[in-house]
Structure 1
Amino acid sequence: MPGPFANPSLLMDCSDAELEALLEQADFGNFEPGRDLPPLRERLLRLERERGLTELHRRVSDKVLAAGARLVETPRYIGMQRCFALSPDGRHLAIASNRLDESHGGDVRIWELATGRVVDAVGFETALVGSTREPSCLQWSPSGQWLGVILGQVVIGVLRAFSGALPCFTADVTRRWGSPPGGTVINPKHVENSGHLPAWCWSPDEAHLFVSTPGPDGALGCIVPFREGTRIHEDSEGLRWCPARLNGQPSKSRPHTWVRWSPDGSRIHGYCKDEFALEPSASPEPQSHPSASAIDVRSGDLEYRFDALTLPVAFSPDGTRLAYGEDSPRLAHGHTGQTVSVLNRDAELRVHAVEEYVWSRDGRRLAVLINNYEFPQVLIFEGGKRLCQVDLKRRSFGPASRSGDLGRWAWSPDGTMGACLLGEGGKVELWKVGSSARMLRRLEGASGIDGLAWGADDTLVGTGPHDIAFWDVNTGALRFRTSLELEPGRVPPPSDWNPWPDEVARFIPSERGWDFTRAQPDGAVVCPPGSREKLEPRLMFSVGGRHAWPWRWAEGTRHARWEDTAPAPVAPPEEDAFEERHVPVPEGETLEARDARHAKWGFLKQYQAPTRPLDHYRAEPVFTHGPAISRANLAPYLGKGVLLRQTQSGTWYALGALLEVSDEGILLHPRAPIGSYRERLLSFRDILWIGPAVPLETPEG
């Protein structure tokens, strides 16, 4: 049996002089990344903090990277993050996101929690990845070897985790039967090929997937065999539809919108947000309602259907218990739907507006987040009995997650502590829970965060549509935080400025334009000298596909180098950036015609019209959402070209001439893409940022 690479305790406790001798004697032939890299990386980080980069960093990097590693860049700008999944071992977080141009595909990235950097990435050039409509579009297999994600709203693609490779398995079983039918859509032919977003889950042995989708004869889903290298469709061999009979009769239920396979493999439990159960005794026009049910894997039939369900809802990890209800939190038996406990009555508490239920990883404890008007609190239950209460003292919870994958409460892996996301200035509080609750510390830097996950290596991660942050829970220190949005005043650069048109562009803003960069898997990096300091911290070698090793430590070795290859020149536009235009004012204009002209053009008789596409400009200065966007700040730019962004969730930009500014909004020509066309002015509250347009300089060869 091969010996160890080095003694980890000696590695962490030795002096700098002893460290050099220890690593010179270390047996890198026995180096195992999963075991040896994290402590070695931590010790070298300490050395760098104390003495800066040393020759030892380069010598060790040369040896660590000798067996091969891919260079991966943690991106600065990406589109909206849509789906999140913590790996079974808690050391990695998978995130599915849009591209900046939402019509052009998406990406799945795997972040290492210990460093807060990306160690694996897979790009999809045409298919949209994941969704913000339902949770669990992105899921790890129980072993952590596979990662499945919904592609194009319909197909489930499974890729081998940490390989950087596209999916090696796909299941496309929803198109024939279309979206879950409403009361007037019964014949599948009416919805042929329309598809819908399926809920799905892994079997415990990873041999099958269950896909929740309408099927033949009232089926509510199908069990799909999982084999690497295969593509499954509705008629594939081995696929088995679940007829979903209830008490021997067709259930006439709708498919689940969230599902999980029980650990013993016997049943698939889940819930449906909008159930239309068309039973013979039902009213002619039944109202939609949530429901929970379980499918027996062997027969494919429903074991029960629980129609008294109210949201929010959460199954325990093993599916044996079901927490639900907004005004009266209850526990039900997950195998029967029968009520086990009315939590607030048993605890003698008055409860109003439950926001979330969050089970600990072992299912032993349950956190119930309650609004209770001005007295929000978190009730902790164990075995159905109240254990303690976290009093937030009139502080509000943070915003609810758009994806539903992560919540505002995250349990520590052992269930003895919890992290709570608050809305006041972007803060997270860590609490010790037991017979009583005790706050441990507050973590700063949670602005833009709407979901938390407590992973391994004493790391808490917070995510939002455009933000991600990693904290050390022992010290409260922020390990890494980044906003993935473009800075206010910037829009993505023109695609034809990308010097590598066959690759996704990476770019860094310069004073009057963009610097384009390229990080190649072999360690070569193309970047203009002026932007290297911004790019370098985001460059990491992925060792074993799982562990980040700083690129800067290897600079000067055969593994890492800057290249000065200049981008291909881009011909500058020939026309001027702005053109002076005049509003025709007819002689003898009537008052009615003048009022009509003012309604369209404001009171200006001439204005400055931008002549280039909006991605050839930036805004400067920039006024951001809030008091800064006002009549006083914008009036000096009347008649000038302005650039602005609307809404917080989309990438809607507008470029035009500022024709009028009132106390409530602006008149822009041409009109912005979003806004009520019944209103003459675009309201200030619909603008995220705005500023006078300044033309960009084109890249030079």
Structure 2
Amino acid sequence: MKITDSPGIGREAFEQALRAADWTAFAPEHDLVPLRAALAGLERRHGVTDAHRYATERIREHGALLRHPDVHQVEITAQALSPSGRYLAVGDFGGDDYDRGATLQIWEVTTGRCVNVIDWIVGGIGWPGYGEVIQWSADESRIALAYRSNNVGVWDPFGEDNKPVGTARLTYSGRPDPFALAPGGERAYVRQEDDPGAHGAIVPLDDGEVWPGDARIKPLSDADQDADQDEDEDEDEDEAEEEFVEVFERVVWSRDGRRLYGHLYNGQVRSIDPASGRVTWTAEGDRDHKPAEWSRDESLLAFHHDGRLVIADALTGRRVSEGPGYGKVTFMSWSTRLAVVECGSHVAVVDRTARHRYDLDVAPRSPSYDLDVRPWTWGPDGEQAACLTVEGRVEIWSLGDEAGERLRSFDAPDGATGVHWGADDVLVVLGTKVLRFLRADSGEVIGDFRLLRQPSAPRPLMLDEEDFGKDMYPEPDPTFALDDETWAVALPPGVVIAPPGREDDLAAVLTWAVDRRFAWPVHWGELEVVPDAPAAAERVPAPLREYLEPFRGRVMREPPTSVPVVRASRGA
């Protein structure tokens, strides 16, 4: 099935083409995005038409679910943009209820809508103050989480199962350990603790659980422990054991799958061959500087040593060039050039030979402790970048060889601490309780969300001091804040509890999620909006009906006005 837009086609002809199409051959992964784009073009010319309504009816037949954005119990503490920039994953720590767990939310960046929710992840995702606890596989078919303190598990980001496909726990430190997901998503580098100490290991994450002592664990060793080592060398046993300690402070798996690279707590930068488990090279870096950064093509890396900025060959670790160092580096970020970011101060632009080109008159906002997201992001072409400033603005910069130019700037939401440049030139500005999606070329806002609002109005699914929405395991709570004064409920089959006349407000936050990965505008069809839970109970199918059965035939009385927000506070 293939329907494409043409500016000359009329609304009637478009509808006829849709009705004549072979919808049995409709495959969302191939057909939905171009069909959505064609209908968006039709809407710009003619408004919402019968073609939109007919297409929505057919889309819903493919099992579309109604999704809202307000699914987290506590603040967002983890996030990761997918490799293609098409999806953003955000997760929370889960609050005080360990068994109730955390929520992972998947957003389609182009539309600024939530398309999937994996709820009830036991033990919480990551930990406040810890970064890179969410990682995508290269093809985006798997997503790895540090969860349950220091477990590492892999999920299908577009699935419905809240149990991981595979999981590993090799330490008991009580905090997330650095890990790296292989590009294929089937294995990971993790930290392992055993009697001699701690070292890195490769573990499978394609099926079941991996625990200490599992035969599938592949420990990493040191290249210096060669077979030609002098067997008569008198070496202290403890020192010999230390040769096998490979614990990264930060670690990344290369896109081609052939290297693990990162830095150690002592400042050393290392590359490991995961096939053999051997260290291929080691470079000396400054312990008190921020992590080394690899270029986008993974051919170069930048780090500091003896107060100098070093550019090295990523395959061999050999120095290519060096230049003046930077004393107050918050982080470095590669594109075609290197941005050395000093938050609250300025950004220095450096070329691939470590030559300082120029400084930008911009003060990036300092990263948040609770949410690891940077205030600087390069555009896909490597010639533009976006910066979240201390003034609460998002600035777009053009970065040439000899000078940078501020092109435009937009307001950022209060509480934002970082920014991503996603697919289709959509920026994602986020903080622990805010998400805003806007176009980099115009600043047009396509999605704007404040999370964890608590309206004082009665919750629609509250009955006899019990909120039935919180019991819809494994589905997320369908209740959400429509605004600061109003609750609403989005039930997956398409029934919405909301005050009358709020259809436009609902369209601004709700979406049809197709295959749990593509958003479809709700205003292109009809939502069944009802005033209360008893009316919804008459319209939903099984198994939702059993959750709402207590409401059937009831006259609603006003329940308590609000439910307090649970904060993440599990202690040290």
TM category (shorter chain) comes to 0.7 to 0.9
Matched, 1:251 2:242: yes
Matched, 1:313 2:291: yes
Does the CA contact (< 8 Å) of 1:77 and 1:485 recur in 2?
yes
Matched, 1:269 2:261: yes
Instruction: Report the Cα offset of residue 404 of structure 1.
Output: 6.9
Instruction: Report the Cα offset of residue 473 of structure 1.
Output: 1.7
Distance 1:510 1:370 in 2: 39
Distance 1:153 1:39 in 2: 42
Q: Which has the larger radius of gyration?
A: 1
Instruction: Report the Cα offset of residue 116 of structure 1.
Output: 0.5
Structure 1 52/241 Cα, relative in aligned 2: closer, same or farther at 3 Å?
Answer: same
2:471 equivalent in structure 1: 502
1:399 equivalent in structure 2: 366
Q: What pairs up with 1:635-650 in 2 under 5 angstroms?
A: none
Matched, 1:357 2:343: no
Instruction: Report the Cα offset of residue 439 of structure 1.
Output: 2.5
Structure 1 491/356 Cα, relative in aligned 2: closer, same or farther at 3 Å?
Answer: farther
Instruction: Report the Cα offset of residue 159 of structure 1.
Output: 0.9
Distance 2:323 2:455 in 1: 47
Q: Paired residues, what number?
A: 529
1:159 equivalent in structure 2: 155
Equivalent of 2:432 in 465, 479, 497: 465
1:455 equivalent in structure 2: 422
| Equivalent AA in structure 1 for residue 27 of structure 2 | E
Equivalent of 1:40 in 29, 35, 52: 35
Distance 1:71 1:543 in 2: 9
Structure 1 76/204 Cα, relative in aligned 2: closer, same or farther at 3 Å?
Answer: closer
| Equivalent AA in structure 1 for residue 512 of structure 2 | F
Describe the SS at the equivalent of 1:457: helix
Matched, 1:550 2:521: yes
152-161 or 59-68, which deviates more: 59-68
Tell me the alpha carbon deviations over residues 614-662 of structure 1, each in whole angstroms, 9 at most, x when there is no partner: x8679xxxxxxxxxxxxxxxxxxxxxxxx9x9xxx9579xxxxxxxxxx
109-118 or 254-263, which deviates more: 254-263
Structure 1 169/244 Cα, relative in aligned 2: closer, same or farther at 3 Å?
Answer: farther
| CA-based RMSD | 3.8
Instruction: Report the Cα offset of residue 324 of structure 1.
Output: 2.7
Distance 1:463 1:334 in 2: 32
Distance 2:70 2:515 in 1: 20
Instruction: Report the Cα offset of residue 9 of structure 1.
Output: 4.5
Distance 1:476 1:509 in 2: 25
Instruction: Report the Cα offset of residue 523 of structure 1.
Output: 2.4
Equivalent of 2:130 in 114, 134, 151: 134
Structure 1 365/171 Cα, relative in aligned 2: closer, same or farther at 3 Å?
Answer: same
1:343 equivalent in structure 2: 323
Name the TM-score, length of structure 1 as normaliser: 0.66
Q: What pairs up with 1:80-229 in 2 under 5 angstroms?
A: 80-99=75-94, 104-124=100-120, 126-175=122-171, 178-179=172-173, 195-228=174-207
Instruction: Report the Cα offset of residue 101 of structure 1.
Output: 6.2
Describe the SS at the equivalent of 1:214: strand
Does the CA contact (< 8 Å) of 2:427 and 2:438 recur in 1?
yes
Instruction: Report the Cα offset of residue 245 of structure 1.
Output: 6.8
Name the TM-score, length of structure 2 as normaliser: 0.80
With a CA cutoff of 8 Å and minimum separation of 6, indicate the structure with the bigger relative contact order. Answer: 2
Does the CA contact (< 8 Å) of 1:5 and 1:30 recur in 2?
no
| Equivalent AA in structure 2 for residue 377 of structure 1 | V
Does the CA contact (< 8 Å) of 2:150 and 2:175 recur in 1?
yes
| Equivalent AA in structure 1 for residue 271 of structure 2 | A
1:331 equivalent in structure 2: 311
Distance 2:515 2:444 in 1: 27
Equivalent of 1:565 in 533, 541, 551: 533
Distance 2:10 2:446 in 1: 24
1:410 equivalent in structure 2: 377
Distance 2:111 2:423 in 1: 12
Describe the SS at the equivalent of 2:468: coil
Describe the SS at the equivalent of 2:424: coil
Structure 1: unaligned runs, 5 residues or longer: 180-194, 276-288, 346-350, 574-614, 619-642, 653-673, 675-701
Structure 1 521/415 Cα, relative in aligned 2: closer, same or farther at 3 Å?
Answer: same
Tell me the alpha carbon deviations over residues 38-71 of structure 1, each in whole angstroms, 9 at most, x when there is no partner: 3432443455566554433221111223232222
Distance 2:457 2:263 in 1: 42
Tell me the alpha carbon deviations over residues 9-36 of structure 1, each in whole angstroms, 9 at most, x when there is no partner: 42x5534454334434444344332343
Matched, 1:231 2:209: yes
Distance 1:490 1:390 in 2: 51
1:367 equivalent in structure 2: 339
Instruction: Report the Cα offset of residue 114 of structure 1.
Output: 0.9
2:349 equivalent in structure 1: 379
Distance 1:9 1:536 in 2: 23
Structure 1 510/58 Cα, relative in aligned 2: closer, same or farther at 3 Å?
Answer: closer
Does the CA contact (< 8 Å) of 2:455 and 2:484 recur in 1?
no
Instruction: Report the Cα offset of residue 329 of structure 1.
Output: 3.2
Structure 1 390/9 Cα, relative in aligned 2: closer, same or farther at 3 Å?
Answer: farther
Structure 1 479/527 Cα, relative in aligned 2: closer, same or farther at 3 Å?
Answer: closer
Structure 1 497/505 Cα, relative in aligned 2: closer, same or farther at 3 Å?
Answer: farther
Distance 1:460 1:509 in 2: 24
2:236 equivalent in structure 1: none
2:540 equivalent in structure 1: none
Does the CA contact (< 8 Å) of 2:77 and 2:371 recur in 1?
no
Distance 1:408 1:216 in 2: 41
Tell me the alpha carbon deviations over residues 188-236 of structure 1, each in whole angstroms, 9 at most, x when there is no partner: xxxxxxx4422111224444211123334344121112324x2221122
Matched, 1:55 2:50: yes
